[in-house]
């Protein structure tokens, strides 16, 4: 039995991004309640050579929409990456969710063997559709979402596992 590429991707992307919106809201509430300049949290990182919180959110959004667009063979939306607040990051995630809602099952199902090629900072990569989704897109999405969660958690925002997983 074949796996539905649509059901494996879009609902998962949507859930992760919605959970990140809730995490952003908790971060903003935490900063306000404790009178912390929000930019402290937005610029926080776990280690000096890692991207800060803001970039982790942007990359989570980019992983989801870029993965879906490449599989569907559509243009990848370009974002300026100029968000400077929790609210702006939330708006970015909401725009990405609207873009993801536009994908139809017939655009993604059947792309398991489609060759997907993309450019990284240092090279051109190529994979078949299903390994691209399962071994590249989803791990990247979860990596950036987890790192964003961990940055806020490390900085005292009261988050738990269910904030990351979401409530069913």
Domain that holds residue 57: 5-165
pLDDT of residue 49: 96
Helix (H, G, I), strand (E, B) or coil at 116: strand
Q: Is 119 exposed, middle or buried (0-12, 13-18, 19+ CB in 10 A)?
A: exposed
Give the count of domains, the chain. 1
Give percent of the chain above pLDDT 90: 95
Q: Name residues whose C-beta falls within 8 Å of residue 25's C-beta, 6 or more positions apart in sequence.
A: 86, 90
Q: What is the CATH number of the domain that holds 38?
A: 1.20.120.450
- The 10s digit of each residue's pLDDT in 88-122 is 999 999 999 999 999 999 999 999 999 999 998 89
pLDDT of residue 2: 75
pLDDT of residue 1: 58
């Amino acid at each position: 039995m074949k796996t539905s590429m649509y059901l494996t991707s879009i609902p998962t992307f949507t859930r992760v991004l919605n959970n990140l919106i809730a995490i952003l809201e908790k971060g903003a509430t935490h900063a306000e309640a404790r009178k912390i300049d929000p930019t402290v949290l937005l610029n926080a990182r776990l280690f000096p050579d890692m991207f800060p919180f803001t970039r982790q959110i942007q990359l989570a959004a980019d992983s989801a929409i870029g993965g879906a667009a490449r599989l569907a063979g559509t243009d990848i939306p370009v974002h300026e990456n100029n968000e400077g607040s929790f609210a702006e990051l939330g708006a970015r995630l909401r725009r990405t969710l609207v873009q993801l809602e536009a994908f139809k099952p017939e655009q993604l199902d059947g792309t398991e063997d489609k060759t997907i090629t993309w450019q990284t900072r240092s090279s051109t990569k190529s994979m078949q559709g299903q390994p691209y989704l399962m071994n590249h897109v989803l791990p990247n999405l979860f990596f950036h979402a987890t790192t964003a969660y961990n940055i806020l958690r490390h900085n005292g925002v009261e988050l738990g596992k269910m904030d990351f997983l979401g409530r069913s």
